[in-house]
Amino acid sequence: MSNKAKKQPSRFWAGTKDVLKTLISNDACVEKRTSKWWIAILVALASVAVAVAPYSYFNWKSVGGNILNEPTYGVKEGLIAFEEDVAKQTGIASINVDAEQKVLLVDGWNNAYPSSRYDYSATYEQQKVVTSTDSAGSVSVTYSTETITEVRFSVYYLESVGEIFKSDYTNILSGSDANQKTTYSVSTLFLGRQEFYLVKKPSGASASAAASAMIGKYDGFKQNFSLKDLVKQDLEGKAYTVNPDTVTEENYDSYITQITATLSSFFTQSFASTVYTSGWFGTGVAWGIDVALIFLMGLMLFLMTRGKSNPYRVYTFWETQKMGYWSAIAPALLSLIVGFIWNNSYALFFFLFLYGLRIMWMSMHSLSPNNPAGK
């Protein structure tokens, strides 16, 4: 017999094996009731961080310039037409973003647009179907094409700020639009003194009834610029290679690409503070929900083992909490995968569903009074 002592398994690998077992075994989670309290808390917090990661990532990843992505519902074309029009308007003395004061300074809006708004109209052909029935009861169908001209995009300037600004644009969206439709359905940009509201294809006053909407602020810009200049240069003052004075059929696409990039940058920078605020708020709310959920699941395990005939009633409140903490790892990892593959909002619901399912299964199987062996 060898005098050499048998090599003992590494404590690290033994611990790793125990942790991995908790991913698939409820009994392993029950056994973790004896683990150190601070390790259990770290496991719970790590599980929450993993479950919330997709939701937090996509919140922070929001880009204001995406408002110009297809379908634009007339927004991109309307904005370019508005920039070209406002550049020619002699009635508007200024329409400038003051980066220091973080406001939009407009002088002469009503001189340029007496109706208080700018409208961009588009003309297109629409097929019309006419069904008629003669005296003999025979039905005939004829087709005709008619030319339709309608407003696709509008721009308002409202000097109000804060809640009054919101109330003002909500009142406009509650009325008829520029096409005289009783339900407001024209994509519109509401320029305010401290912020703006852009809505794509609205359906009344509710933002949730729009294809897309965003609120932007003027606090994300580093230097002053004029909206009248954006047809010729970008936000930093760099001139385009093509502008309305030099545009031709051959270089038209280049002109559109350059001004669209500037408009996209405008929306991205003006939306930055909203992304920052909503990112922290959304992440905080998600953490609060998941932390509360894990605590409640541990409490549920404690209450389910309180029956007089339940052999597991010897487990203390803190022991059942630790079982709940260790049980959260696997649902969190699955939620992480689902959140990044499909949609960030699914991760929160998927974690709630899977975690609740696992706790229920544990209480009915591993902690069942009729199954004292935990099998």
What tokens appear for 80 in the block?
């370019």
Q: What is the pLDDT along the chain (375 residues), one digit of tens a residue?
A: 454 555 556 777 776 787 888 888 888 899 989 889 999 999 999 999 999 999 888 888 888 888 998 888 999 999 999 999 999 988 888 899 999 999 999 999 999 999 899 999 988 777 777 777 766 667 777 777 777 788 999 999 999 999 999 999 999 999 998 888 888 999 999 999 999 999 998 887 776 667 788 999 999 899 999 999 999 999 999 999 998 889 898 999 999 999 999 999 999 999 998 888 888 998 999 999 999 999 999 999 999 888 888 888 899 999 999 999 999 999 999 999 988 888 766 777 889 999 999 999 988 888 877 765 444
pTM as predicted = 0.77
What tokens appear for 57 in the block?
């990532």
pLDDT of residue 228: 93
Is residue 273 within 8 Å of residue 217, measured between CB atoms? yes
Convert the pLDDT of each residue in 37-88 to its tens digit: 999 999 999 999 999 999 888 888 888 888 998 888 999 999 999 999 999 9
Residue with tokens 């003051």: 98
Q: Is 100 helix (H, G, I), strand (E, B) or coil?
A: coil
pLDDT of residue 208: 63
Structure letter (DSSP) for residue 182: S
Residue with tokens 């003669």: 134
Beta strands 195-200; 212-217: pairing state: antiparallel
Angle between helices 252-304 and 37-60 (to 10 degrees): 150
Distance, CA of 40 to CA of 198 (rounded, Å): 47
pLDDT of residue 135: 67
Angle between helices 344-364 and 252-304 (to 10 degrees): 20
DSSP alpha helix (H) spans, 211-315:
252-304
E strand or H helix at 168: helix 162-174
Is residue 326 within 8 Å of residue 29, measured between CB atoms? yes
Distance, CA of 330 to CA of 12 (rounded, Å): 20
Give 119's strand partners: 154
pLDDT of residue 8: 57
Is residue 283 within 8 Å of residue 103, measured between CB atoms? no
Using the CB atoms, write b or e for 226-244: b if 16+ within 10 Å.
Answer: ebbbbbbbbbeeeebebbe
pLDDT of residue 375: 44
